[in-house]
Each structure stands twice: as C-alpha cells, then as structure tokens.
Structure 1
Amino acid sequence: AELRAFVESEQVEIVNLRVTDLNGITRQLSLPAADLTDELLTSGLGAGMSNYPGYRTIEASDMRMVPDVSTAFLDPTTTTRSLNILCNIANADGSPFARCPRGILRRAVERLHAAAGHGELMALPELEFYLFDDVRFATEMNRSTYVVDAIEGRWNTDRDEGPNLGYKFQRAVSQHAAPPRDHLYEVRSDIVRALLACGVPVKYHHHELGGPGQVEIELAFQPALAAGDHLQMAKDIVKTVALKHGKTATFMPKPLFDEAGNGLHFHLYLTEGERSLFFQEGTYGNLSDLARYAIGGLLAHTPALMALTNPSTNSYRRFGPGLAAPMKLFFSVANRSAAIRIPGYSMTPTAHRIEFRMADAIGNPYVTLAAIVVAMADGIERRMAPEELGFGPFDTNVYDLPEAQLAAMKQAPQSLEEALHNLQEDSGFLTAGGVFDEGFVGTWVDLKMKNEVGPLALRPHPYEFALYYDR
C-alpha cells in the first residue's frame, strides 16, 4: 500500500520489473502503474525465461519475477515517469529459483558471515569503462572488422573536426586528467547525478589511464547485496546517460590494443560496529587472521574463480605488463602489480580492507561478487594462510622482475578456456553450502565453450592476414 501511494503521489506512469540473466544483461517487463497490485507485489509476475541463457529450457520456461520493494527507484534517465523495481526470480510455483543471481549472492554472503562468526561484509566496486564517439563492427564470412573512435584519441590529432581544437591523449598518460584535457567530465557528472538520484552512493569519478575515453566511477561502501544491486544499476545508467550525450559506453575488458583495459576492482572487509575485522596492529599490513585466511582463499581459488569474474575471451587480453593489470597471484601492501592489494592509505582500525584486482565488469555483477565471497569464505573455513601457500607477500613491482623470478610465481589463467578447465577441476568451494547449485558449473562451462570460446577459435583473425596472407 505504501509503494502504491508513492506511485500515485509521484505520478508514475510505468512500472518496470527488472531481473538479470546469467550474462549480466538486465531484462524487464513494463506494466501500467495502475496494475501494480498488492498481489503482484507479493506473488510476482509470470514470465517465460527460456531465452535467458542457463536458466530454463522452453518446455519448462514459466518463472516469476517477484519484486523486492526495498529496491524501487524512480528512473531519472527516462522521459516517461518510470519506477524500476529489482526482482528475485522464482519458479512458477513461487519457490526460490536456485540460479537467481540475487539469491546466489545472498547465500554467498550468509556463508561468509557464518564462516567468520560475526561481522557484515562491506563491498566497494571500482567501475572502469570506455566512452567512445563511434563504434562499428562486423563478423561475416568474408570480413571481420571493428573500428572505434574517441575525440580524445591520439589518432585524431590531424583530423578535420571543423575545427580540431586539440587536447588529445598519448598512450597511458590520462589518469586523473582535468578539463580541458578531460573531454568527459560533464558526461561522468551527469552519470553520477543519475546514480545519486537512484540511491546509488558514489565515492568519486575521474578520467582513467587509458587515454581515448577510459573513465572510472567508484561507488561507496555498501553491504554486499546492495553493492551487487547498485553495480547492476550503475552499468545500465552509464550506458543510458552516455547515449543521451551521443556517446557509447562499453565495459569490454580490452576494447583497444596497447591501452589500459577495464577492470572491476572490489574493496572488501568485514565490519562490526565501527571496527574493521580485517585489522590487527603489528602484523604484516596490519592484517588480522580473518583477513589473511580470506586472502588465502581468494588467491588459491583465483585460477578457477576467473571463469566467473573474468568470463569473456576478451577478459584475458587485459592482462600484461605496464598497464596496471596484475598477472601473478600474490598479495602486497600498496602494490598495484599484485592480485590483492592492501591499500596503504586505509590501514586503520575502522577502514582496513583488501582489494581484489583481477575481476572485470563484462559479466553478471551478482555472480562475480558471489564467487569472490565464497572463495573468501572457503579460505576462512579452511584457515588458508596465503604465506604458507606461496602467495607472498611480495613487496616488489613484478613487471620489473627477471623472467626466472617471474616463472617461479603463481600465474593467473591466460585464457577463458584455461579458466574454465580450472573451474571444472576446482568447483567445490562454489557449491559448498548450496550457494551455487550442483549443475551450475557444467551449464556455465557448456555455455561459454559453445557460444564464445569455440566460435572464436573457428574464425580467422585480422592480424593473421597481416602475418600470413602474402607468405
């Protein structure tokens, strides 16, 4: 009744019920505001989901979108007065659907809390993406091509822009740029205004390292399920506001060769009252045993974890020396070449945290965060000390190490296919406690191999023509 009164007072015209498929794409059903009844809010709205990858086949596709009224927000990006409500996915009989992404994350957090014995998980995502002015791509029998353009691109220094006013970025020099060099300040500011209007808290925004259009919006710390919701909302808002500015946004991990890629770093800690349970003065990095075990679980499972946190073939093009993407599995204080960084500026009893730097935003935010959380939980349950497992700490820039020393360090997967194989070998940490259902990994691997890894392997690459055509 309270929500329906709000709908009436705000003159809402359309209510959008939203869910997320396994690939992280938002789906919605839109209904006239007058049809928002108490029964619908309680029991949900029937929907066929056979075309949602990994959910249900066509002969058993009837599901329900069940609104979580606590997530309702007025959409600031639409002309139509619209209220969006995030939903849980239920079976046709109303029972919980095991692969509902919000449900997976909720169970993951419950498992972590049980493993730790106390505290609440807080998460802060750093959302990196590119804003381009034009994108064109095609894959046909006789051609395979892509072209992107950005007004900041160094390739446009001599282009007739009627007139060309300059301020183009050379390679990897644009982090924290200010206007007029930063062409995207107003776009980001409008995105942040929209996020705040939806109730998504923002820490700050800035231009990122990748010159031609790479930016970052860092959200604020929130309880983990809220962080998942806000991350999904943010991806949609970023894309929508960008379009209104005549831009196109992409979370592809590596849209440009030889420029920085897009990551999704997560800052994480358990809190109790005003205290971080990851803090213990006098240890390496002021890390408590709880934090050390969480780190151990994360690093031990990262080779499998990345099949979920870096779930595209493009994800693995992001990793390489010189572009702030980690390649080796270790932890360290204030070290951005590490897979897990202990931020040096927050080593206090109230704010101490860890930063997992491997993930990207191309996938489903709930699944990504849930996988990270259960790896932490497994580490705590099994008291997995990272030092004893060979994960450091190493307080050095690994990009400058000799090859012999690099070879001795534990390596992250270098392809999606490798990560999927690792996931098949190491999936028990996901299914323990029923967080992910027993058939999830098989379905995930099958979807990725058949729809992404396999088809890409069959197609000639443009660079192969440069290498081999005239031999």
Structure 2
Amino acid sequence: MEHAIKQLSEWLKSRQITEVECLVSDLTGIPRGKISPTNKFLDEKGMRLPESVLLQTVTGDYVEDDTYYELLDEADIDMVCRPDETAVYPVPWALEPTAMVFHDTFDKLGNPIELSPRNILKKVLKLYADKGWQPIVAPEMEFYLTKRSSDPDFPLEVPVGRSGRPETGRQSFSIDAANEFDPLFEDMYDWCELQGLDLDTLIHEEGPAQMEINFRHGNALQLADQILVFKRTMREAALKHDVAATFMAKPITDEPGSAMHLHQSIVEIATGKNIFSNDDGSMSELFLHHIGGLQKFIPAMLPLFAPNVNSFRRFLPDTSAPVNVEWGEENRTVGLRVPDSSPQNRRVENRLAGADCNPYLAIAASLLCGYIGMVEGLKPSAPVKGRGYERRNLRLPLTLEAALERMEDNKTVKKYLGEKFVTGFVAVKRAEQENFKRVISSWEREFLQFSV
C-alpha cells in the first residue's frame, strides 16, 4: 500500500494535479465516489464509502429493505476503498488539473467486497491465473451521437454534422459520414491519448450517426477500467460540440442497437502460447470447450450482458443483433463468431453484450463461461454455416424478467460469482424493473387511450 501511494504521489505531483476523483463502479456501471484535494487524498491513502452504493439502481434508488438488510450491515457501515496505482487517468476536460483514480473495495478485515464489479472480474481472472492462463481481450464499443434533448418524452434525433444536415439512411463504414464529426473525434482522440487509452480504429456503424471504437487487445482488468473512462470521455467530447453520446443498447426505434463486442483468447503465462490453437495450427480441444462453456452459460448470465429493460429491445427480430449462442467461423449472424486469424491470434468474439453493460461484469461473465467450459470439458454444437438469426435451438431468454429468474436459479453461477453477488445484482435489476413499470409509455397513450 505504501509503495502504491508513493507511486501515485509521484504521478500526481509530476502533473501538478490539484484534485482527485476517487471512483468505484456500482453494479450498473455508474462511477461513484468522492472528489478530493490531492493533498488530502494522499494523506488519507484512499477513501471510505457506504457499501450501500453498490446496491443503488440506475435511478439512485435502493433495493427493498428485506434484501438490503440481508446483504448489508444494518448500521450502513463504510467499505474501505484503496486506490489502484495502475488505474490512474487525467481528466482533460476539467477546469483544474484533475485525475480520476479507480479504487478496490474491502471490508474492515481486509476482505474484498463481494458486491464490487471490479472484484468480481479480479475473482474470475484469479481462476485463470491459478491454471497458468491469462485472458487477452479486445472490446469494440458502439454508440450513437444524437441531438441534445432535455425532454425524455421525445425520441432521440440524428445530430447535424459539419455539412449542416443530419445524416439520412444507412451509412455503414462511410468515411464521409464519420468525417461529419471530425472536430468532435479529434478532441476525443486527443483526450484519450492523454489518458493512455488503448484505442484502435474508429468505424461508422450501420445506424445514422452510430459509431464504433475498437480497443487494442490487452489485459482484461485494465481494459474494463478504460471502457468506463472512455464512456465519460466520449460524453464530455460530445457535450463540448453541442451533441450527445449515448451507450443505450437500443436508443432509436427501428435503428440497429449498440453492442460491446468482446474478442477473447487465452495464453499460457509461462510461454505466451495461445491455448486455443494446437501446434499444427488447428483448433484445440480447449478452444472448443471454451465455446461450449459460452454456449451453456451465457443464457444463465445474460443479465450481465443485457442488464436493462432497453437491452432486450436490441434482440428483437430484424435488428442486426444475434439472438442465440450459436457459433461459426467468420459468421456475424451468430452470437459467437470465430474471426479468420493466425493460430496465435485465434479467438472468439462474443457479440451478445450491449453497450449499456457494466464492462467489469460483462468481461468477467464472458471469461467465466469459457473457463467453466474448459474445466468441465463441455462440447459445443456444430458450427453454423450461413445465416444464423433464425436458429432456435440455442436462443436467449426473451425478457429481463425471464433472464433474472434463470440467473437466480442457476447453482453454477452462484458457485462461481457468489450467492451474495447474485442476490444483490438480481435485486437491483428487479428494483429497476419495478420502477420502469410505473412509467406510462407514449405507445400506451397513443394506442390504448381511446381504443380500450
């Protein structure tokens, strides 16, 4: 701890940082914490937060009392939050020199907090490390740029670019359509470079003003941190240019949803060899077992990939999103795609997670499904050749309610993620679902007001 604080102190002082944003991720992926003067941050060597922040819903409400007091101390005690010296990022848009620092969370005895998403990912990564394996991941983040709107009752609209006109039609991979927002993306890339984010390419996706940023492959924990940083950075860059950036899974009716595609492979720590390939370059048994695990357990962990009511709108028919856990080589119509690559770069792309997921939990869940498949020797189905959207044998739960029930009833999920975590996560999502049901939609007013 002292060494970490010394490293942090040198980093902050060398950049003349005057304020520190001390962050932890809640279950929904919202960064929560405190803003502290640098001197106080270094003196206190971290912060304390009520453990109850991990049971907040996306609206800031809490789960029902019975579950709340089942999972938390009745005195609403604090958890100990210790800074991770490897997870420090400047905040380029701040008025004063500011840094954000991600924290790990512990109880007063030094045990990791079971409800913490970052701890869940670290728990899964330890399973791999104990086998002598290291996961390598590469996320792809999709999002929309929209006009700014202060009224949530109005649908989101396509923003106006440099040409003075909103984009029309589908402009997949269009360079000109992406260039409409060049000043915004120049700021975004400049800020991300200052933050040391491992960004790769920018792509215009299928929807109007829908973009995708690819991250270079690397360490799973560091990339989960970077995704949270990137979301904040992208939103701030958009606001600077008087538009909005949204990572909702399905923000615009009849337009494609936004995903967080996740490429994953596994290497031996000792040799760096990709365990998904045999010496002759063919697919290894471990690779096929990894896919088998993804197929069997993604449906049981689907709320970690599709955590909101809106997430399931992305899986509606004819939405360009996969709706099953079929797999295939070079096939984008299935949930699990195996890209064409060299044996050392062999990987599987999980295409099911939405852009609205908590990156710690989605990456942890995807890696855990594959891990269970490898240790249990699970066999995958036959790979799909051709169109896979209509395949019904390996379909996903159709609603958030059904997915939560399936997750809650799965003993293997509780064994690996912990019963406390599963209970808390499901309770938060059910509280959000109850909140959603209280809101009368425009569809109901339009079609039911005078017809029933």
1:83 to 99, 104, 112: 99
- Report the AA paired with residue 98 of structure 1: E
Map Cα deviations across residues 283-342 of structure 1 (whole Å, 9 max, x no partner). Answer: 8xx421111111111111121211111100000101134432001221001111111000
How much does 1:244 deviate? Answer: 1.4
Query: CA separation of 1:64/1:274 partners in 2, compared to 1, >3 Å: closer, same or farther?
Result: closer
Paired position in structure 1 for 2:356: 362
1:440 aligns with 2:440: no
Paired position in structure 2 for 1:141: none
Paired position in structure 2 for 1:31: 36
Paired position in structure 2 for 1:160: none
1:259-408 map, 5 Å: 259-272=255-268, 273-280=271-278, 286-344=282-340, 346=341, 348-387=342-381, 392-399=382-389, 406-407=391-392
Map Cα deviations across residues 400-437 of structure 1 (whole Å, 9 max, x no partner). Answer: x5xxxx44x221111111111110222423533xxx23
1:64 aligns with 2:42: no
Paired position in structure 2 for 1:227: 223
How much does 1:274 deviate? Answer: 5.0
Paired position in structure 2 for 1:126: 140
Distance 2:369 2:237 in 1: 35
1:16 aligns with 2:21: yes
Query: CA separation of 1:186/1:249 partners in 2, compared to 1, >3 Å: closer, same or farther?
Result: same
Distance 2:273 2:222 in 1: 20
Map Cα deviations across residues 189-244 of structure 1 (whole Å, 9 max, x no partner). Answer: 32222222111111111211111x21111111111111211112111111122211
1:426 aligns with 2:428: no
Paired position in structure 2 for 1:174: 171
Distance 2:420 2:11 in 1: 41
How much does 1:469 deviate? Answer: 3.2
1:150 to 138, 154, 158: 158
1:304/1:427 contact within 8 Å kept: no
1:324/1:336 contact within 8 Å kept: no
2:163/2:180 contact within 8 Å kept: no
Query: CA separation of 1:457/1:118 partners in 2, compared to 1, >3 Å: closer, same or farther?
Result: same
Paired position in structure 1 for 2:47: 45
1:301/1:426 contact within 8 Å kept: no
1:237 aligns with 2:233: yes
Query: CA separation of 1:295/1:470 partners in 2, compared to 1, >3 Å: closer, same or farther?
Result: same
1:103 to 119, 125, 140: 119
How much does 1:461 deviate? Answer: 2.8
User: Aligned residues: percent identity?
Assistant: 25
- Any idea what SS the aligned residue of 2:311 has? helix
Distance 1:208 1:127 in 2: 11
Unpaired segments of 5 or more residues in structure 1?
A: 139-144, 154-162
Distance 1:352 1:307 in 2: 27
1:129/1:249 contact within 8 Å kept: yes
Paired position in structure 2 for 1:200: 197
How much does 1:258 deviate? Answer: 0.7
- Any idea what SS the aligned residue of 1:22 has? coil
Distance 2:315 2:366 in 1: 19
- Structure 2 length as normaliser, TM-score? 0.88
Paired position in structure 2 for 1:142: none
- Report the AA paired with residue 349 of structure 1: P
Query: CA separation of 1:438/1:186 partners in 2, compared to 1, >3 Å: closer, same or farther?
Result: same
Paired position in structure 1 for 2:62: none
- Structure 1 length as normaliser, TM-score? 0.85
2:295/2:380 contact within 8 Å kept: yes
Map Cα deviations across residues 326-365 of structure 1 (whole Å, 9 max, x no partner). Answer: 0122100111111100012x2x122111000101132321
Distance 2:232 2:285 in 1: 38
Distance 1:282 1:192 in 2: 40
- Any idea what SS the aligned residue of 2:364 has? helix
Paired position in structure 2 for 1:159: none
Greater displacement, 105-114 / 377-386: 105-114
How much does 1:152 deviate? Answer: 5.3
Distance 1:10 1:414 in 2: 49
- Report the AA paired with residue 156 of structure 2: V
- Report the AA paired with residue 387 of structure 2: N
Query: CA separation of 1:337/1:92 partners in 2, compared to 1, >3 Å: closer, same or farther?
Result: same
How much does 1:11 deviate? Answer: 1.6
RMSD, matched Cα: 2.4
1:371/1:430 contact within 8 Å kept: no
How much does 1:165 deviate? Answer: 4.2
How much does 1:5 deviate? Answer: 3.1
- Any idea what SS the aligned residue of 2:149 has? strand
Distance 1:338 1:278 in 2: 20
- Report the AA paired with residue 45 of structure 1: M
Distance 2:11 2:191 in 1: 20
Query: CA separation of 1:100/1:443 partners in 2, compared to 1, >3 Å: closer, same or farther?
Result: closer
- Any idea what SS the aligned residue of 2:105 has? strand
How much does 1:147 deviate? Answer: 2.6
1:112/1:376 contact within 8 Å kept: no
